[in-house]
Amino acid sequence: MNLSVKIVTVTSLSVTLIASSFTSAVAKPIRYLPSGGVMYTLEYSSPDDPESSDTARWGRIERNGRVTPLSADLNLNQVTDADYSVETGLVYVLAEGWSTSCELWSFDPDDAVGSLTQIATLSRPSFSIAGCESLAVNDAYGEVAVSSGDAVLDIGVVNSFDAVSGEFSVQDSGFDDGLNDLYSAMDDTVQGFLTMRGTGHFTLWGGMEGAIMSGRIKVRNPMIHSVKFDSNDTPWLINRGRNGVKMGKMNIVRSKAKWGKTLREAGTRNMWPTDAIVFIPSVF
């Protein structure tokens, strides 16, 4: 199945809100146990960010917040988000997120280095910074959605991609929550299309129904960068704070999240900088 690329749009969905079960607030961090699968991550590497990594490795997030590296360096710069397609069995990656041209890559999660392939370049007619921050796969429609802050490709549907020229045909379409057009995190599920901003503001969209729920996850020093639903339709998100990156379990209805420990490499215990988490279900 060939996935097309799209700059954020919403499909018509039948939405049923499933509130995650949360107990009263506790001091100790939660364990990272997404329902029905495993959460993975890609390191964030950028020459412009002194707090980033020197490598961009593919890794598995363990329940205690340790990250087990599963690949050598993928040599991808500024990976701002990624997502997994059940239909194709591939992970789709958004790289060069803050360059003048974003890049879309894919790889087999069992052989990240050997299967790494560049699919497309989301080029623009000017030299303005692209600002491609988030990506979500919609398997039902065979689409990859990309959120871009570019002045030309704010929110549009990519109709076609020429593999030879690398050009896209784009038309304006999508949705607006009244703030601006750049989402730092988003994901698609039977529950709805969830968009988030670095500030913690979020909107759950229901296709033709439009915005059906909005709120704000209160986080100290918010820098939300990625969100992914697990098999129980519970969103998990990451926040890059002053003391590294933590993953949180989000309750949409209550506009709250509970957080786990800082992500650290399993062997060295060094902090694992990332802007991207990827949920892969155990059973398809």
pLDDT in tens for each of the 284 residues of the chain?
667 666 453 333 333 333 443 334 444 899 999 999 999 999 999 988 888 999 999 999 999 999 999 999 999 999 999 999 998 899 999 998 887 778 889 999 999 999 999 987 776 545 555 578 888 888 877 777 777 654 333 333 333 334 445 444 444 445 555 555 568 899 988 888 898 999 999 999 886 567 788 999 988 889 999 999 999 999 999 999 888 999 999 999 999 999 999 999 999 999 999 999 999 999 75
Helices (H), the chain: 112-115
What's the confidence (pLDDT) of residue 23?
Answer: 39
What's the confidence (pLDDT) of residue 25?
Answer: 44
Instruction: Identify the burial level of 16 via C-beta atoms within 10 angstroms of its C-beta, where 0-12 means exposed, 13-18 middle and 19 or more buried.
Output: exposed
Three-class DSSP category at 220: coil
Q: What is the signed CA dihedral for 213, 217, 223, 229, rounded to 10 degrees?
A: -60
Q: What is the signed CA dihedral for 139, 143, 144, 147, rounded to 10 degrees?
A: -120
Residue with tokens 């909005």, as numbered in its chain: 214
What DSSP designation does 3 have? Answer: P
